[in-house]
Structure 1
Amino acid sequence: MIVSNVSLSGCAGANSALCAAVGDRYQGGGSYRSTLSPTGNLVVAVCLGFIGTFGLLNNLLVLILFCRYKMLRSPINLLLINISISDLLVCVLGTPFSFAASTQGRWLIGEGGCMWYGFANSLFGIVSLISLAVLSYERYSTMVAPTEADASNYRRISQGILLSWLYSLAWTLPPLFGWSRYGPEGPGTTCSVDWTAKTANSISYIICLFLFCLITPFLVIVFCYGKLLCAIRQFDRQVSGINASVRRKREQRVLFMVVVMVVCYLLCWLPYGIMALLATFGSPGMVTPVASIIPSILAKTSTVINPVIYVFMNKQFYRCFQALLRCKVPRRGSSIKSSSKVATKAMRGIAITGTRRTNDFLFMVASLGHPAASGPQLGPFVEPTVDITKAPSSDINRHVEVSIASDWL
């Protein structure tokens, strides 16, 4: 994850000598005991087992669907796959070690394993967060792009994926080279950034990590999806012939999906960030190991929630999932009856008769769900219902019916 709880935050006051002894034993390469009771360790182990199992299954299923069905292999879906891969790596390379430590009541793989665990989980967690921000920006920029986008061009998306990994490495490598450090945390069964060190070196790193790896992605997500919602509402006002109740229902659906994404992001990561800041700037012992374990578990649940929100609530992926279960060919979600070339030609004819911005939007919606189309690729957040079998005319609004929020945003 981006971080993993609060490092030995309960080590204060009367317990300082005990904690020092634990730290000495750990630094020497040995194992150390959890500060939780056996019952507490059992509860944590059950939660981690649930998260690890379902996170593994959900993300593995996403990869299977992507490999199995060619219709899912559009550029923007690669971002969803990047998120699933990073979450899958957390479930494979991180959660099993903290689960095993909780079942045994002590850290099992020594100091080197602790540093590796902290680095790997921070790396994959930040990759997931940055990928969510890149995904929101890509959807927004495609929506407002004044020119047509090449749906078969993977270069831009590949650059976004590369950015997510390089950005994450830029923030997770410094603790290995002296800017802060990775060490034991919380109840003593996981490792992460040392939140409790009061040195300027450590505090400066923690502030930067909080601002650039938690707050910045959140602001990008809120801005991009907010602008996207505004663009959809503006489009509805520009196109006549759409029933008011249908328009209201569609906008409410889009708003609901945006709120779900934002709330789940905050639910998973905000308690984690607040707990880390309290441990960093609060008085010693303010955050106990028992209190710190809850935000850590919430952060790890993102590996289970992300596939559900961004993939299985996407109708394109969901249709492929149903087809996989039934061993059938997935049905198309679009009612476009002609080939991509015919669609492109028709919509270009439409563009001559109306305002440029509105018809660019219509062109974009018409090309959705067809990765081979030459129109803009918006990815898996809209399912169109456009009848383009009729010849273009000046009264185009009577011939075009657009359903913007049928697919997942």
Structure 2
Amino acid sequence: MLRNNLGNSSDSKNEDGSVFSQTEHNIVATYLIMAGMISILSNIIVLGIFIKYKELRTPTNAIIINLAVTDIGVSSIGYPMSAASDLYGSWKFGYAGCQVYAGLNIFFGMASIGLLTVVAVDRYLTICLPDIGRRMTTNTYIGMILGAWINGLFWALMPIIGWASYAPDPTGATCTINWRKNDRSFVSYTMTVIAINFIVPLTVMFYCYYHVTLSIKHHATSDCTESLNREWSDQIDVTKMSVIMICMFLVAWSPYSIVCLWASFGDPKKIPSPMAIIAPLFAKSSTFYNPCIYVVANKKFRRAMLAMFKCQTHQTMPVTSILPMDVSQNPLASGRI
């Protein structure tokens, strides 16, 4: 039944109804297998660092932990199902599997952008409004993190209960929002999701990081003690890491948003087949670059990873040299450690 729903007939379709040849499916499957293994391994290492060093288990770092969980969720469920279908030549998990697969991908994706918004708010309060930031409690962070997860769950469930729908894409080997059926339900769902889970979060992020940048520039021109300069250096390091994460998330999800907008206001039949597969692949790529960003953009996280590989315990490694999201007690920070 699913194979009959793969879209309109095309001379380029193979015998299973896919617009890709089996060789092209095999190439995609190879990419998914490699990317999935890298993503799972790297994010497990990230979680291992937080588990090994108790000093890292702070409310702020809980955001990063949850981001790693979303990445592991996609790479451990989404990648294998899609890769198996590519090797098979078409979607092989039936209607129910399609709903579960697409729903989980939307769930983890929406949760990720919500968590990145929480990171931006944390950076803003920590650097720009430290008096308010110091009053942020563990329960406050738990509430914001739960809000990101609940928001993701809501939008993942909507197509299952009837607002829009999930279906295999033209490649036939993966399931997503059924953008080929651009009826009123699909358009209203897509526009609402893009507004609430793309435009609004990005607006909040840009606002927060704009003011963070101003605060950092102001601090650079002020005369501060060496300890305060070290603290600001730590905060700048964390902020740079956060900005890179958000920019890369934007790069990953923009093609998917473009496909949905194209399907909403244009003719879905004219969307190129390569773009139909590249868009979800780009979105999935967000699962394995975050650990790379932690290592490349944050020297303290890099030191923590090296310490774990050298089997150092938290007693033999100073806390001040390992905190990737370090927040101290001085007035420039939020006082949560």
Please, which of 158, 162, 165 is the counterpart of residue 146 of structure 2?
Answer: 162
CA contact (8 A) 1:127 1:165 kept: yes
- Counterparts in 2 of 1:55 and 1:106: CA distance versus 1, 3 Å: same
- Counterparts in 2 of 1:58 and 1:146: CA distance versus 1, 3 Å: closer
Tell me the alpha carbon deviations over residues 317-359 of structure 1, each in whole angstroms, 9 at most, x when there is no partner.
Answer: 3222111111124633649xxxxxxx96xx6xxxxxxxxxxxx
Please, which of 166, 180, 183 is the counterpart of residue 182 of structure 1?
Answer: 166
Please, which of 291, 300, 318 is the counterpart of residue 332 of structure 1?
Answer: 318
Q: Could you tell me which residue of structure 2 aligns to residue 271 of structure 1?
A: 255
1:37-76 equivalences under 5 Å are 37-76=21-60
Please, which of 155, 177, 184 is the counterpart of residue 193 of structure 1?
Answer: 177
Q: Give the number of aligned pairs.
A: 319
CA distance in 2, matches of 1:124, 1:132: 12
1:40-189 equivalences under 5 Å are 40-147=24-131, 149=133, 153-189=137-173
CA distance in 2, matches of 1:127, 1:59: 16
The residue type paired with residue 129 of structure 1 is I
Higher helix share: 2
Unpaired runs of 5+ residues, structure 1, are 1-6, 23-31, 336-342, 348-359, 365-374, 380-409
CA distance in 1, matches of 2:135, 2:252: 33
CA distance in 1, matches of 2:170, 2:135: 46
Q: Could you tell me which residue of structure 2 aligns to residue 214 of structure 1?
A: 198
Q: Could you tell me which residue of structure 2 aligns to residue 352 of structure 1?
A: none
Q: Could you tell me which residue of structure 2 aligns to residue 27 of structure 1?
A: none
Q: Secondary structure at the match of 2:163?
A: coil
- Counterparts in 2 of 1:193 and 1:48: CA distance versus 1, 3 Å: same
Q: Could you tell me which residue of structure 2 aligns to residue 376 of structure 1?
A: 335
CA contact (8 A) 2:182 2:268 kept: no
The residue type paired with residue 121 of structure 1 is N
Tell me the alpha carbon deviations over residues 360-399 of structure 1, each in whole angstroms, 9 at most, x when there is no partner.
Answer: 32xx2xxxxxxxxxx624x8xxxxxxxxxxxxxxxxxxxx
Q: TM-score, structure 1 length as denominator?
A: 0.70
Q: Could you tell me which residue of structure 1 aligns to residue 325 of structure 2?
A: none
**Percent identical residues:** 31
Q: Could you tell me which residue of structure 1 aligns to residue 324 of structure 2?
A: none
1:334-349 equivalences under 5 Å are 334=320
Give the superposition deviation at 1:190: 0.6
Q: Does 1:238 align with 2:222?
A: yes
CA distance in 2, matches of 1:51, 1:290: 19
The residue type paired with residue 71 of structure 1 is E
CA distance in 1, matches of 2:234, 2:137: 30
The residue type paired with residue 60 of structure 1 is I
Tell me the alpha carbon deviations over residues 115-174 of structure 1, each in whole angstroms, 9 at most, x when there is no partner.
Answer: 111111110111111101111111212222352755994111111110011111221211
The residue type paired with residue 328 of structure 1 is Q
Give the superposition deviation at 1:240: 5.7
CA distance in 1, matches of 2:335, 2:239: 23
The residue type paired with residue 200 of structure 2 is T
- Counterparts in 2 of 1:315 and 1:72: CA distance versus 1, 3 Å: farther
Q: TM-score, structure 2 length as denominator?
A: 0.84
CA distance in 2, matches of 1:152, 1:223: 20
CA distance in 2, matches of 1:54, 1:90: 12
- Counterparts in 2 of 1:152 and 1:194: CA distance versus 1, 3 Å: closer
Give the superposition deviation at 1:224: 1.4
Question: Highest CA radius of gyration, 1 or 2?
Answer: 1
* More divergent stretch after superposition (124-133 vs 141-150): 141-150
Unpaired runs of 5+ residues, structure 2, are 322-327
Q: Secondary structure at the match of 2:280?
A: helix
Q: Secondary structure at the match of 1:285?
A: helix
CA distance in 2, matches of 1:311, 1:216: 29
Tell me the alpha carbon deviations over residues 222-264 of structure 1, each in whole angstroms, 9 at most, x when there is no partner.
Answer: 221221111111122232689xxx9xx9999789656633431
Q: Does 1:302 align with 2:286?
A: yes
CA contact (8 A) 2:128 2:211 kept: no
Q: Could you tell me which residue of structure 2 aligns to residue 286 of structure 1?
A: 270
- Counterparts in 2 of 1:332 and 1:148: CA distance versus 1, 3 Å: farther
CA distance in 2, matches of 1:162, 1:62: 21
- Counterparts in 2 of 1:64 and 1:259: CA distance versus 1, 3 Å: closer
- Counterparts in 2 of 1:151 and 1:307: CA distance versus 1, 3 Å: farther
Q: Could you tell me which residue of structure 2 aligns to residue 372 of structure 1?
A: none
Give the superposition deviation at 1:39: 1.7
1:386-401 equivalences under 5 Å are none
